[in-house]
């Protein structure tokens, strides 16, 4: 569809263009949140959390060319949204005493084979996550901004252009140093 194509092109455009189309995409399918409450019996907060996470995942898949365009954008988003709703339901039924209402299992964890995943999952405790979060606030604004931009799917080259670094290699070195700094603070 023409509207789908406009959004896809916009998301793959420059950073400002991408930000504008992220909003358009978010608003376009916001009604999914009602669907999450109605079809999956989720609380609004959970449905909203699943929806916003869906949008971010979809954006990242689109900009990294992992969306092949074989289905419409709506179908694609709804597939992701349904999965996230199901994951939330499963999480609620297996862990009724949850403390942190976050989306289950990060994408990175899913890349590991089952035996490695089992080991790592035990080490990624809520305590570790809380420590990382608190240290993110004190490693410096530049570091945080750099790490967030990378997490947002921007390449080192794109970050270099936006933040006026001399080249991608400098961004990569700085970024990895920031991660090392974060790790050292947590270990210390």
Partner 1 sequence: MPGTVEFIESYFKQTLSSAERAAFEVRCTTDEAFATEVAFYIAARQALREELLMQKVKAWKTEEDIMQAEKAPVIPEASAPVIPMHKRTGIIRWVSYAAAACLILAVSMFLFEARSTPEKLAANYISAEYGHIGQSMGGPDSIQTAVEAYNAKHYDSALVYFKDVEMRDPGNSDAKKYAGLCYLQEKDYDNALKEFDALAAMDLHINAGNMLKATTLLLRNEPGDKEEAKVILKKVVDEQQVGSEEAAEWLKKL
Nearer to partner 1, 142 or 183 (CB): 183
Binding range to partner 1, per CB under 8 A, among 5-13, 91-99, 122-130, 156-164:
122-130
One residue of 1, 2, 65, 75 binding partner 1 per CB under 8 A: 75
Distance of CA 179 to the CA centre of its chain: 18
One residue of 109, 138, 169, 170 binding partner 1 per CB under 8 A: 109
Kindly report the length of the chain: 188
If one counts every other C-beta atom within 10 angstroms of the C-beta of residue 62, the result is 21
Residue 105 · residue 114 · CB < 8 Å: no
Q: Among 31, 28, 30, 35, which residue's Cα sits nearest to residue 10?
A: 28
Distance from the first to the final alpha carbon of the chain: 53
Total residues contacting partner 1 by CB under 8 A comes to 50
Alpha-carbon span 86 to 177, nearest angstrom:
38
Question: Shortest approach of partner 1 to residue 5 CB, angstroms?
Answer: 20
One residue of 55, 73, 143, 159 binding partner 1 per CB under 8 A: 55
The crossing angle, in degrees rounded to 10, of helices 44-63 and 32-40 is 130
Provide the binding-site residues for partner 1, judged by CB under 8 A: 19, 22-23, 26-27, 30, 52-53, 55-56, 70, 75, 78-80, 82-83, 86, 102, 106, 108-117, 119-120, 123-124, 128-129, 132-133, 136, 144, 147-148, 151-152, 176, 179-180, 182-183, 186
């Amino acid at each position: 569809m023409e509207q789908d194509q406009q959004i896809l092109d916009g998301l793959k455009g420059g950073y400002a263009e991408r930000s504008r189309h992220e909003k358009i995409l978010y608003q376009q399918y916001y009604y999914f949140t009602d669907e999450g409450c109605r079809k999956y019996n989720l609380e609004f907060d959970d449905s909203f959390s699943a929806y916003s996470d869906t949008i971010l995942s979809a954006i990242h898949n689109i900009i990294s060319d992992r969306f092949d365009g074989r289905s419409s954008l709506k179908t694609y988003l709804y597939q992701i949204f349904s999965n996230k709703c199901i994951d939330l339901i499963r999480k609620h039924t297996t862990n009724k005493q949850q403390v942190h209402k976050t989306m289950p299992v990060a994408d990175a964890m899913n890349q590991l084979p089952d035996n490695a995943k089992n080991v790592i999952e035990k080490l990624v405790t809520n305590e570790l996550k809380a420590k990382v979060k608190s240290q993110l606030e004190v490693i410096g604004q530049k570091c945080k901004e750099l790490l967030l931009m990378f997490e947002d799917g921007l390449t080192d080259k794109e970050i270099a252009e936006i933040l006026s670094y001399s080249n991608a290699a400098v961004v990569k070195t700085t970024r990895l140093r920031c991660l090392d700094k974060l790790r050292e603070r947590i270990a210390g």
